[in-house]
Amino acid sequence: MSSTAASATSGSDDPDRRDHAATGSGDRDTILLQQLAVLFGLGLLGVGALVATTYVQYRGRANLPFSPEILALLSALVPTILLAVAVVLGTVLAPRVGFRSHVADRVETGSRVLPKLAGEWRVAVAVGGGLGVVVILLDFGFQSVFGSITTTSTVSPDAALLALAGSIPLRVLYGGITEELLLRWGFMSLAVWLLWKLAGVVGAVGRRGRDTGGGGDGPSAPTAPAPTSAVVWAGILIAAVAFGLGHLPTLFALGPASFPVVGRTILLNAILGTGFGWLFWRRSLEAAMLGHVAFHALIVPVSAVVILVG
């Protein structure tokens, strides 16, 4: 494995990128704004799915503080703000640490997205499907040790299947697209960039100390041009744990949660986040999205079988 994040898959040698290296600052600002708009619009697909799902959940309920329409719109407030921040952070920082988005590249260079995904989709689907198998096995393991750790429900199988089917747009659009923009494009890019800069500062201090102790006044070694694999893995794991923690509010909204349930939620989602983070690093943002969707493509039918067999 390469020692830097700027691997051959990062597209750093793309002739289209070299052609645009000399782009004027005004044109570059325009491109940046277009990238922000496109990625933000892509993320809003998931926010829209969240609004629709929230409306369906509240529709017909009594004693609500606001109408279902207002509650649905309010559910979009925080995700929309976080999405905007993540898109800005990722668009500015991701290229600096060797990460890429084919959609962002499309805006900048005009290169098509699908031909690039043609070389990535098999790996993305394999990783997503493999993560699904791991999560299913671990979940069964948890239940064999702790018993059923899901909330007891009196909902009929038909209603449960209907709810599962209704969750598919949210899983695909919010999970597969918006969460990857939030956690990988924004948060992971920021984490890796900060760790990279911190490593550079620590290294510079160490070199300065050696130069001073040795009495030499020669130039210090230059800062690494890209984050090392260790730095990127640290960023992947930080974002993965954040991904796990981010699912706790939904868990707590279902009712009291025991320690095993909390631990299961964090661990399983952190495992997923690690796999999606690897796809983002070694392939692209879109590969991470595709892997996330592939995971749900396996989990949904397995969940349906579990519901049917009781």
Residue 146 pLDDT: 80
| The pLDDT of residue 210 is above 60 | yes
| The pLDDT of residue 33 is above 90 | yes
| The pLDDT of residue 24 is above 70 | no
Residue 190 pLDDT: 99
Residue 128 pLDDT: 98
Residue 152 pLDDT: 52
Distance CA 176, CA 276 (A): 10
Contact 75, 249 (CB under 8 A): no
**In this predicted structure, which of 100-109, 113-122, 219-228, 252-261 has the lowest mean pLDDT?**
219-228
Residue 176 pLDDT: 98
Residue 251 pLDDT: 85
Residue 299 pLDDT: 97
For 138-190, the pLDDT digits (tens) are: 999 988 888 766 555 567 899 999 999 999 999 999 999 999 999 999 999 99
Residue 150 pLDDT: 58
What's the pTM value of the predicted model, to 2 decimals? 0.86
Residue 273 pLDDT: 98
**Which amino acid would we find at residue 71?**
L
Distance CA 230, CA 183 (A): 19
Q: Which of 23-32, 86-95, 204-213, 225-234 has the highest mean pLDDT?
A: 86-95
Question: Residue 298: which pLDDT band, with cuts at 50, 70 and 90?
Answer: very high
Name the more confident of 19 and 97: 97
Name the more confident of 211 and 277: 277
| The pLDDT of residue 213 is above 90 | no
Residue 178 pLDDT: 99
For 41-81, the pLDDT digits (tens) are: 999 999 999 999 999 999 988 889 999 999 999 999 999 99
- Per-residue HEC secondary structure of 191-212 comes to HHHHHHHHHHHHHHHHHHHHHH
| The pLDDT of residue 28 is above 60 | yes
Residue 153 pLDDT: 59
For the residues 75-89, what does the mean pLDDT come to?
98
Distance CA 175, CA 279 (A): 15
For 216-266, the pLDDT digits (tens) are: 444 444 556 789 999 999 999 999 999 999 999 888 887 788 888 899 999
For the residues 116-141, what does the mean pLDDT come to?
96
3-class SS of residue 48:
helix
Residue 8 pLDDT: 40
- Please give the C-alpha separations between residue 285 and each of 27, 68, 126, 230, in angstroms, as whole numbers: 24, 34, 16, 20
